[in-house]
Amino acid sequence: MSVELVFATSNTHKLQEVQFMMGDKFMIKSLHDIGCNDDIAETGKTFHENATLKSTYIYQHFGLHCFADDSGLEIDALGGEPGVFSARYSGLRNDEENLQLVLNKMTGIECRNARFKCVISLLLDGIEHFFEGAVEGTILTEKTGDSGFGYDPIFMPDGYSKSFADMPSKVKNSISHRGRAVSKMLDFFNNI
């Protein structure tokens, strides 16, 4: 028996990553799969608020068990930017533009400490559950690696000598912010 969940995203990279992590026990559907083409506004000031906005929208409009995540990169030298604006930091939903803006702002800065954070809001029968994950690391001075998406080519997690984009997906998923949050959500399902 598989559990059917809607993942409130239209990002195919995220969808594939999460489906891989959750395994065959779960059938993960995207917004597209349920016929939702709406642009759900992410007007929250925190990852929690944005995740809740997305999951609540799906539950209220479609009545389906669902989850949403909001995640982003926080860079100490930039006062926590891009934070909740990570996906549209440059003003566009364009990974390359956002990544280049970070590299430009970090030019000449020695302190390059950063972290990826992820908050998942899961709605089951109208009851909300939160799961969080984070990974500390460093912002590189240039892109490395061909896999991953978003800021992966410029983020090197602590304890590793490669960017997320240089790692096999299995390794990245085992240590990433989203991987850690999804793991907590899986633990929750295993205990209900």
**Would you state the structure tokens that stand for residue 105, as one six-digit string?**
């702002």
Torsion (CA) 68, 94, 156, 179 in degrees, nearest 10: 20
Is residue 83 left, alpha or beta, with left meaning phi > 0 and alpha meaning psi from -120 to 50? left
Query: Phi/psi of residue 75, each to 5°?
Result: -110, 120
- Distance CA(50)–CA(140), nearest Å, equals 28
Per DSSP, what are the bridge partners of residue 82? Answer: 74
Pairing of strands 113-124, 26-29: unpaired
DSSP designation for 34 = G
Catalytic site residues?
Answer: 70
Cβ neighbours of 92 (radius 10 Å): 12
